[in-house]
A and B are shown apart, each in its own frame.
Chain A
Amino acid sequence: MSNSLQAILQKLPGPKADTDDWLERLRADALKTISSRDYPSTKEESWKYTSLHALKKSDYLIADEHNSGGLLKKIYSRNDFLEADKLHLVFINGFFQPDLSSDELLQNGINIRPTTTKKADEKYNLETILKTDLTETFSALNILTLCDSLLIEVEKNRIIDKVIKLIFIGESPEPLLKSLRIIVKMNENSEARIVEEYRSHDKDMGFTNVVTNLRLGQNSTLYHHRLQIESMNTTHIGKIDAQVDTGASLYSDSIAMGGKLSRVDIDVSLSGRSAYCRLNGLFTGINDQHIDHHTTIRHLVGDTHSDELYRGILDDNSRGVFNGKVVVSADAQKISARQASNNLLLSKLAEIDTKPELEIYADDVTCAHGATVGQLDETALFYLRSRGISYKDARALLIYAFAEKVIEPIPLPALRQSLENKFLGHNQMSEFIQQG
């Protein structure tokens, strides 16, 4: 069988079948799983609205340390990434760049370990985590073609004040597959804020395939902000798999603005009482961008709660997809799940496919969902213009106003600011907004 997925697999070194290394065993399993497959087609329900045609016709190189940045790596310096109160880790074309990253990664209470899985430490039970969803094509491909991976562990009872910012830069003019893995382990009563930022150079043609595993121990809190602002020629496939234990809270933001094709799957299991997740998302499309979010929230036990808000802004010929699934297990009583999907279409040719999916097997639950699709309010546009604000600025202001519902709750001022700038240019609204 020959297709572009198989073409990638053929570039892999042969499997070492009779090794004791658990990772090699996982890889052998993954290979077996997908060795007769192609990428998912639109005939599959979860890919119905998202065609992978672009992947199917490209011949990708697998990123390795030889093509991890080339010349451009030298134009950066650590100072380019420094921000107050942040720890930052820079990856170029899938590989960690210690020279560009914060030099003090070993802080009290936190263990950040940029590591290839060859050196993976069994102490962290990585095998169990990496096994997750291995039957799924992109997860299997991820483990087979893994570049660097990263483990972040926060000690019990620690609150990490500094924001941990992961910056993944793509800069290859040839089609390059970068598979990344991020594992976050929050121990009991810990708290942290993590930003995953994916960006790239204008000419980047890369294919990012990243899996993030979040494990929230009892009463821990994690703020996880995913920002995808890659260039317009890239393909981005992301997956977040989260398990939230008793009393723990996950606050997740997925912001997708870049890439020609972007698909993020978020799957959260609320597995202990009082577990909570808030999934927010914001996506914008211009030209012929295609942005897809599929989320699944699993209320596995009673007294678990979720809130979800996704907002899409689509212009030109762009297309957005939102599929929000909520599964309530039998006996998971007294749960609450609220979901809203609001979409703004700025052009007649833009399109959104939004679908709530509820699977409820318990009877004493509170579930609400709603989806809206609208256009810019002409009266509001006239109101602003009649005050002297140009059409362009008035339009930008109303688009920002729509996005603000997702931006405002983000607890990181710098991230809020950079998003505000993307919508409004450099006229800063925040200086008028009283803090507190």
Chain B
Amino acid sequence: MLEISDLHVDVDGKEILSGINLTVKPGETHAIMGPNGSGKSTLSHVIAGREGYTVSQGKIVFNGKSLVDLEPEERAGEGVFLAFQYPIEIAGVNNVYMLKAALNGIRNYRGEKELTSVEFLKLVKSKVKAVGLDESLLNRQVNSGFSGGEKKRNEIFQLSVLEPMLAVLDETDSGLDIDALKAVSDGVNKLRDASRSFVVITHYQRLLDYIVPDYVHVLAKGKIVKTGDKELAHALESKGYDWLTDGEESAA
């Protein structure tokens, strides 16, 4: 589904990613872990197509199609979703309106008929319970005045409505207490199936107790320095990152 090969990415003229290789097959969940500044968020943004992230070398191929030249909204249309580490507050825009515009944008891209407001509201009502989002948040302004946990739940709620094939979760656990973490993880786990893939970016192993990954990759200084299964995450929790990044340095 997703094939990243030899990916080099510059931000403001500085190389942040230096040759990433990552293959994600349908239904798989991959965790990307790594210390601060290792390039985790850059990877998530470059997959979603944020401006200012220049691919200087390498490829990102999604279902056989190169993503690099596509606009962010076209990538969404292809089935890519990024849950933001810091979801944006947009005062003045109704949460449900935004989501309807998003779903219909995607449906347009795919040549599907737009949903009417009635159809859309029905869909939304069925999804809102699944992620444990308070229904009153639907009619509020986008993320405006939401608590940290509500914002993250709203991201997962958007994910559940837009039904992407690949969801990249960028530090979705940051700033969550244990109850919110469980609720968000439950929401994600309900959306896992044989065809949908997840890339879960996190600094801490804690999230991976709830969203159990098939693979764990360690990113350091712009490269994947180790790949393993969920046990690798436990090792990182007890030993930290130093043993991996030091090794990478001495090998270089």
Contact = CB atoms under 8 A, between A and B. Distances in A.
Interface string A398-436: 101111110010000000000000000001010111100
A383 B93 contact: no
A421 to B, nearest CB: 13
B77 interface: yes
A93 B91 CA distance: 40
Contact of B93 (A382, A391, A397): A397
Contacts of B233: none
Contacts of B97: 427, 429, 432
B71 A385 contact: yes
A432 B106 contact: no
A433 B117 CA distance: 12
Interface string A258-277: 00000000000000000000
B94 A433 contact: yes
Contact of A387 (B51, B71, B98): B98
A19 interface: no
A389 interface: yes
A380 interface: yes
B87 A405 contact: no
Contact of A386 (B48, B93, B117, B138): B48
B139 interface: yes
Which size bracket describes the interface of A in this complex?
A: 20 to 34
Nearest to A427: B101
B92 A393 contact: no
B130 to A, nearest CB: 19
A250 to B, nearest CB: 25
Interface string B145-159: 000000000000010
Contacts of A112: none
Which of A378, A380, A432 has the largest number of chain B CB atoms within 10 A?
Answer: A432
A433 B105 contact: no
Interface string A354-384: 0000000000000000000000011110111
B219 interface: no
For chain B, what secondary structure do more than half of its interface residues adopt (helix, strand, loop), or is it mixed?
helix
Contacts of A387: 73, 76, 81, 98-99, 102, 105, 158, 162
Contacts of A391: 71, 73
A402 B92 contact: yes
Nearest to B77: A388
B139 A434 contact: yes
B133 to A, nearest CB: 15
B172 to A, nearest CB: 15
B222 interface: no
B139 A432 contact: yes
Nearest to B107: A388
A427 B84 CA distance: 26
Interface string B101-137: 1110110010000000100010000000000000000
Nearest to B95: A432
Contacts of A157: none
Contacts of A10: none
Interface string B30-67: 00000000000000000011110000000000000000
A3 interface: no
A393 B101 contact: yes
A432 B94 CA distance: 7
A379 B96 CA distance: 20
Nearest to A392: B73
Which of A386, A389, A397 has the largest number of chain B CB atoms within 10 A?
Answer: A386
B92 A405 contact: yes
Contacts of B82: 386
Contacts of A386: 48-50, 72-73, 75-76, 81-82
A401 B90 contact: yes
A77 interface: no
Contacts of B138: 432
Interface in B168-189: none
A382 B162 contact: no
Contacts of A388: 73, 76-77, 102-103, 105-106, 109, 162
A398 B90 contact: yes
Interface string B20-31: 000000000000
A347 interface: no
Contacts of B48: 382, 386
Contacts of A378: 51
A389 B98 CA distance: 9
A67 B83 CA distance: 62
Interface in A192-220: none
A287 interface: no
B92 A385 contact: no
B88 interface: yes
Contacts of A379: 88
Nearest to B89: A380
A316 B129 CA distance: 45
Nearest to A378: B51
Contacts of B103: 388
A400 to B, nearest CB: 7
A390 interface: yes
Contacts of A390: 73, 105
Contacts of A433: 94, 139
Contacts of A405: 91-92
Given A429-B93, A432-B139, 10 more contacts: A382-B48, A382-B51, A385-B71, A386-B72, A389-B101, A397-B93, A408-B92, A427-B100, A432-B96, A432-B100
8 contacts: A379-B88, A385-B76, A386-B72, A386-B82, A388-B109, A398-B93, A408-B92, A432-B96
Which 8 A-B residue pairs are closest in the complex by CB-CB distance? Answer: A401-B92, A404-B92, A388-B76, A387-B102, A385-B72, A388-B106, A388-B105, A383-B88
